[in-house]
Amino acid sequence: MTGPTSPQEIAKYAAARQAATYVEGGMKVGLGTGSTAAWLVRRLGERVRDEGLQIVGVPTSSSTAALAREVGVPVATLDEARWLDLTIDGADECDAELNLIKGGGGALLQEKIVATASDRMIVIADATKRVEKLGAFPLPVEVVGFGMNTTKMLLEEMLEGLDVMGNKAVPRMKDGTLFRTDEGNHILDLHLGRIGNARQLALILNQVPGVVENGLFIDICDVIVIGHGDGTVETR
């Protein structure tokens, strides 16, 4: 396995390795998505191989499932596992109350379902993800394809009345076409600048027909492990 090279990757790697120490034999573990979570999955693969660690991983995306299989972490679906001891996942932003923006990798729906079905959620991130107020990172919202332009218009209108700085909903693209999630839906990235009341926004967004789920994780994360470019970590 090639190690991390840039300071940001070293930070992600350090956070992932630290979080991997929370995983004990016999656990059912939710496996997050993204570059930080990928370090965790690789580390768990090492522990399975070197220590004979016995776990079942529940991946939050097809890409994480493929990586877990590649590095030898046994996987199950959430319906097979039913309830998990722990989920470890990355984040795009995290505030002081451990509320998150997630979905930069487009896996927010499965990530939220898996984290909610876990006794504990640990977030792993480099220090750039820690923010005072959520919202600089565009908030991903998963929407169904039917009537997507109408859903976008309704979201933008609704946002005008809320405590946010911007209201643009931008369809996420990949390779020149609309991005598709593992569930076959699309993503609207909401350019809000700053979210005044994340708890309220998380509830309101899901009232709009066509919205499947939003990337605000409120009261779901229990612990955050922050990595730094010098390889040190801090846990909150």
Contact residues toward ligand 5RP (CB under 6 A) are: 32-37, 89-92, 102-108, 111
Active-site residue, from 9, 51, 111, 160:
111
CB 231 within 8 A of CB 16: no
**Residue 174 C-alpha from the chain's centroid:** 19
Least distance from ligand 5RP to the Cβ atom of residue 125, Å: 7
In 54-160, where does DSSP find H-type helix? 62-71, 78-81, 108-116, 148-160
Question: Which SS3 state, helix, strand or coil, does residue 59 take?
Answer: strand
Cα–Cα distance measured from residue 92 to residue 106, given in angstroms and rounded to the nearest whole number:
11
Residue that is written with structure tokens 């955050």 in the block: 224
* Strands of 216-217's sheet in order across: 93-94, 100-101, 216-217
Closest approach of Cβ 129 to ligand 5RP, in Å?
7
- Taking the least distance from each CB to ligand 5RP, the nearer of 2 and 51 is 2
* Residue 22 one-letter amino acid: Y
Q: In this complex, which beta carbon is closest to ligand 5RP, that of residue 123 or of residue 169? A: 123
What are the Cα distances from residue 127, in Å, to 50, 139, 144, 233? 30, 19, 33, 9
Minimum distance from residue 62 beta carbon to ligand 5RP (Å): 12
Least Å distance, CB 112 to ligand 5RP, is 10
CB 204 within 8 A of CB 198: no
CB-nearer residue toward ligand 5RP: 52 or 181: 181
Element (H, E) at 20: helix 7-20
Q: How far is the CB of 92 from ligand 5RP (least distance, A)?
A: 5
Inter-residue contact 141 to 210 (CB < 8 Å): no
What is the residue type of 134? L
Closer residue to ligand 5RP, CB minimum distance, 9 or 46:
9
Active site residue 156: no
Q: Indicate the residue among 46 and 182 with the shorter CB distance to ligand 5RP.
A: 182
Which residues are known to be catalytic? 111
